[in-house]
Structure 1
């Protein structure tokens, strides 16, 4: 398929490691519970995302996205994350542990940089198992997983494999842990929940249930009365026969995992 270029000139493309890791606030992900559960109740759990406030030698000051509270954590317990999917210095086994956390679905992925050698990348994808693909780099700094398809930058590669599996185990769906970040606060327009007093349904006059013009202090809400009236009207017209015919028309839904070229590319690595 040759080199893939997404709109814009080549000068607009990002093709250096330094530019990949700039232009956004520093985010880190917790790689293991801290402190360990056998020591005390953990302050931070594996997979939790934190905002990096300051790097102070071995200890980093971080802020919880969920609680907004600040604290310190050893830098060995966290990894920087860029663009939501580029994880710095994460080993293969730790990538599998992160992708297997609840909230990640089929197609969840991350690109991890080798902890042993900077500039070496792998793509890890959750499928039936976690699959790993070595990302190679040409002399001109273009990237590829399959030699037949090269990309000027990692963003282009992720964009392409999000649209097409193209030899991977499946298309990429969402960055690892993206579904695990809790909302900062409740939606401002959420209506209040009002609890109605308990009452005995047996003591309700049937005329109150089907009437749509009852007084506002009726024990049954206007919406419920409308629904009941509509149901009673519908159920009076050969309801038994209608329900029987409806049951015959039901069909089972079956979800099958994609098989897009499974095994066509599998550059498994050891770092």
Structure 2
């Protein structure tokens, strides 16, 4: 797992202290500069820039797309870490960025909370007939041991682990997380996925919690579920006080089949319009 973000008690998370040096030189414009009312903009909203130098209230930057260098006021751009952690951005601006045409359903970003100091919010673009309702927000809470969670039953040591999990399984969110906000999405047709032959000798009857969590227990051919899903199943067994020797072979097989069916149904939310879920934050 990655390192957790260090924060001082009762203070905003110190992003500069916790993030790697090679990721803090990426900026995203949050306004057109200069404004169209003054002249033709040099940089458009949502454009990614490489920070070259900091000079007082100005940044010297280079556009990723155009490759040109110029200056931009600090107030017109924000730092971005890991591609999805946007520093100092408000809810309204997060929605504006996620609604840009370069994003699609599942595009997301994480930002610091405006109303509750020391916490984060996950903002996700979702399909909606009403553009103003196409972004959902989820508050990310933090436990005293510095672990993060959106749902109390699922905790993560760091934000990277949280993002990785919800990229694999929607698990209560409106949809899977697919790409960071403003990521360069390929317009090429993806190659046909190869057919992977599963090992028919794998038997769920003999599976145990230790095997689910072990990275060496399953061969590449047998590893047909992600580590995140195996971890969720093992956690459910623990919370439900399920004993490995409690079930007979046939009953355990039926139990795991129901778990896998439940996980598959969560994936189907990508194709349907889901109602507002209990974790969505309408007040942040």
Q: How does 1:179-194 map to 2 (within 5 A)?
A: 179=184
Q: Does structure 1 residue 31 correspond to structure 2 residue 30?
A: yes
SS in 1 for 2:70: strand
Deviations 1:245-267 (A, max 9, x none): xxxxxxxxxx9843497533334
Name the CA distance, whole Å, in 1 between partners of 2:52 and 2:139.
32
SS in 1 for 2:23: coil
**RMSD (Å) for aligned C-alpha atoms:** 2.6
Asked whether the 8 Å contact 1:165–1:261 carries over to 2, the reply is: no
**Aligned positions, number:** 189
Name the CA distance, whole Å, in 2 between partners of 1:107 and 1:166.
13
Asked whether the 8 Å contact 1:27–1:51 carries over to 2, the reply is: yes
Per the alignment, residue 162 of structure 2 pairs with: 157
Unaligned runs of 5+ in 1: 1-5, 7-11, 183-254
Asked whether the 8 Å contact 2:106–2:178 carries over to 1, the reply is: yes
Name the CA distance, whole Å, in 2 between partners of 1:61 and 1:137.
36
**How far apart are 1:116 and its partner, in Å?**
7.2
The 1:115–1:76 alpha-carbon spacing in structure 2 relative to 1, beyond 3 Å, is: farther
Name the CA distance, whole Å, in 1 between partners of 2:36 and 2:67.
22
Among 242, 249, 258, the residue aligned to 2:271: 258
Name the CA distance, whole Å, in 2 between partners of 1:37 and 1:27.
24
Name the CA distance, whole Å, in 1 between partners of 2:275 and 2:145.
29
SS in 1 for 2:21: coil
SS in 2 for 1:134: strand
Name the CA distance, whole Å, in 2 between partners of 1:82 and 1:32.
19
Q: Given the two structures, how large is their TM-score scaled by the length of structure 2?
A: 0.60
SS in 2 for 1:136: strand
**How far apart are 1:84 and its partner, in Å?**
0.5
**How far apart are 1:87 and its partner, in Å?**
0.4
The 1:117–1:145 alpha-carbon spacing in structure 2 relative to 1, beyond 3 Å, is: closer
Name the CA distance, whole Å, in 2 between partners of 1:92 and 1:13.
26
Among 260, 268, 271, the residue aligned to 2:281: 268
Quick check: which has more Rg, 1 or 2? 1
Higher relative contact order (CA 8 A, sep 6+): 1
